[in-house]
């Protein structure tokens, strides 16, 4: 239990201290007008208070990830706590802050546009397609999950639940952000936080003690921690999906100093939620072997249902299950909204996209395949979400690193986690069943070799920009 409390304290300390350091490196200026005012259109560009932005961002990024992913990651034992804490503070918080603030600095630009500006057109072209695929997979997975749960606890069938959820998705995608999202999400955010706190308090007073830190891999299937844990627990540590969501809120910020509370703050809150559910998974079933049996019997939704109703009773269980339904739905709708915004940015070169009819039409190409993907088994979808998600995260961190290099600032805050995540995704794709399924040691060797090539590229960028800055300094002195 000591490890659990220490982890929460470290996450809070990370927000209080490290987020301020990241903000100083980025350099904010509250005298600069934000896109919410300079480009106001009362659809996506609408000024909102920071606390609304924080709760909306939390609901946008949370989904099933910090619950289902954390429960699955709990199979590895208390080592999951280390990844959640370190990942949130040094990778996820930095990733989310830069994705939001760079978007705001570039007029509310979408993630692929930012990538193109700092990493080139070739990478942008790849990321445009990968981002749309990721968001369709996320929206589908975050539709299938709650639909399955609704079918379990109500008389509605899975198909009817799916249609109802998707109808809401389409409505939230095309309406102004302050109509539905801006009014409902802050309330839902309160429910989410209450649910997490309730589960956490119940765990403290439960019969089984929360396990303390051990570096031993406790996975019953003996799956390796590296790189599987870093992909299994993405939301709650670092998730590339967040970089596709941050521009939604970047377009509503009133001032630049709100960014730390909105983006880094929401990431730390999500880290706490993931920590609580990872602890619940390890504790409630009396070890990782019991958790694996429960996951095999009822899947992640069954595990969450059993934990919630047992620990919190009937009323608390209803609130918890409601939260598990709300979380993914409030991520699925903004996933489609982001898809619509990216397509709008792409198509704006050829068409005027201000017309409401065109906004609806641009949503259809992503809505239809997403609906059909939602009928596929959730666990199958989630396997493919994982790798694409972390590739997107790695590219966003490299985007932040190059931005800092260009501005002669402390680029290591993005470069080091970017290098780490590059190693994760390079190894994962060769080892994972949904990848090439190669031998583990061979996969690690190939992953490290590819990471070394990326490291060489990074060093050349450092040398290039250092030389440019030295020349600029010499010209000024002359």
- Tell me the per-residue pLDDT of 367-411, one tens digit each, with 9 for 90 and over: 777 777 777 766 666 667 788 889 999 999 999 999 999 999 999
What whole-number distance in Å separates Cα of residue 112 and Cα of residue 123?
9
The structure's pTM equals: 0.90
Of the chain, the percentage scoring pLDDT greater than 70 comes to: 91
Mean pLDDT over each residue of the chain, to the nearest integer: 87
What is the residue whose two structure tokens read 């002359």?
478
Higher pLDDT, 478 or 244: 244
**pLDDT above 90 coverage of the chain, percent:** 49
Give the model's pLDDT for residue 353: 52
Give Cα separations from 198 to 50, 193, 309, 399, 419 (angstroms): 25, 8, 12, 38, 37
Sign of the four-CA dihedral 437, 442, 444, 450: negative
Confidence bin at 132 (pLDDT 50/70/90): confident
Task: Check pLDDT > 70 for residue 475.
Answer: yes
Among 68-82, 105-119, 262-276, 366-380, which is the least confidently predicted range?
366-380
Tell me how far apart the alpha carbons of residues 319 and 313 are, in angstroms, rounded to a whole number.
Answer: 10
Distance from C-alpha of 433 to C-alpha of 438, rounded to nearest angstrom: 8
Position 125 scores a pLDDT of 84
Residue 134 has pLDDT above 60, yes or no: yes
Residue 54's pLDDT band (cuts 50, 70, 90): very high
Q: Does the domain spanning 2-380 belong to CATH 1.20.1740.10?
A: yes
pLDDT digits (tens, 9 = 90+) for 286-332: 899 999 999 988 777 788 878 888 888 877 667 666 666 777 777 77
52 pLDDT above the threshold of 80: yes
Confidence check: pLDDT of 155 > 80: yes
CA distances for 173 relative to 26, 101, 166, 170, angstroms: 31, 23, 10, 5
């Amino acid at each position: 239990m000591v490890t659990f409390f220490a982890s929460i304290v470290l996450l809070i300390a990370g927000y209080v201290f490290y987020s301020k350091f990241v903000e100083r490196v980025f350099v904010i200026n509250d005298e600069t007008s934000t896109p919410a005012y300079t480009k106001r259109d009362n659809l996506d560009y609408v000024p909102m208070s920071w606390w609304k932005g924080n709760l909306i961002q939390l609901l946008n990024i949370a989904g099933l990830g910090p619950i289902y992913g954390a429960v699955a990651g709990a199979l590895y034992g208390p080592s999951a706590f280390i990844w959640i804490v370190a990942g949130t503070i040094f990778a996820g918080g930095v990733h989310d802050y830069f994705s939001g603030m760079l978007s705001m600095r570039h007029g509310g630009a979408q993630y692929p546009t930012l990538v193109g500006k700092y990493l080139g057109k070739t990478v942008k072209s790849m990321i445009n397609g990968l981002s749309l695929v990721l968001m369709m997979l996320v929206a589908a997975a975050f539709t299938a999950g709650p639909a399955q749960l609704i079918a379990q606890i109500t008389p509605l069938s899975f198909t009817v639940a799916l249609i109802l959820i998707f109808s809401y998705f389409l409505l939230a995608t095309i309406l102004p952000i302050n109509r539905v999202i801006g009014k409902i999400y802050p309330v839902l955010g309160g429910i989410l936080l209450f649910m997490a706190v309730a589960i956490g308090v119940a765990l403290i007073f439960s019969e089984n003690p929360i396990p303390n830190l051990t570096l031993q891999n406790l996975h019953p299937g003996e799956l390796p921690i590296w790189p599987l844990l870093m992909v299994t627990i993405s939301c709650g540590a670092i998730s590339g999906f967040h970089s596709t969501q941050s521009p939604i809120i970047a377009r509503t910020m009133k001032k630049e100093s709100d960014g730390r509370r909105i983006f880094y703050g929401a990431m730390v809150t999500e880290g706490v939620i993931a920590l609580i559910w990872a602890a619940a998974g390890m504790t409630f079933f009396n070890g990782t072997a019991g958790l694996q049996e429960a996951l095999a019997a009822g899947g992640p939704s069954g595990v969450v249902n059993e934990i919630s109703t047992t620990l919190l009773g009937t009323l608390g269980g209803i609130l918890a299950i409601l939260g598990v339904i709300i979380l993914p739905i409030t991520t699925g709708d903004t996933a489609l909204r982001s898809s619509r915004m990216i397509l709008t940015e792409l198509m704006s070169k050829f068409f005027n996209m201000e017309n409401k009819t065109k906004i609806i039409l641009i949503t259809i190409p992503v809505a239809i395949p997403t609906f059909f993907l939602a009928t596929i088994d959730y666990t199958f979808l989630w396997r493919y979400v994982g790798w694409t998600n972390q590739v997107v995260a790695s590219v966003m961190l490299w985007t932040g690193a190059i931005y800092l290099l260009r501005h002669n600032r402390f680029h290591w805050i993005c470069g080091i986690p970017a290098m780490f995540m590059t190693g994760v995704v390079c190894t994962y794709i060769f080892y994972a069943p949904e990848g090439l399924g190669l031998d583990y040691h061979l996969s690690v060797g190939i992953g490290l070799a590819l990471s070394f090539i990326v490291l060489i590229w990074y060093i050349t960028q450092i040398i290039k920009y250092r030389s440019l800055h030295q020349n600029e300094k010499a010209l000024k002195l002359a």
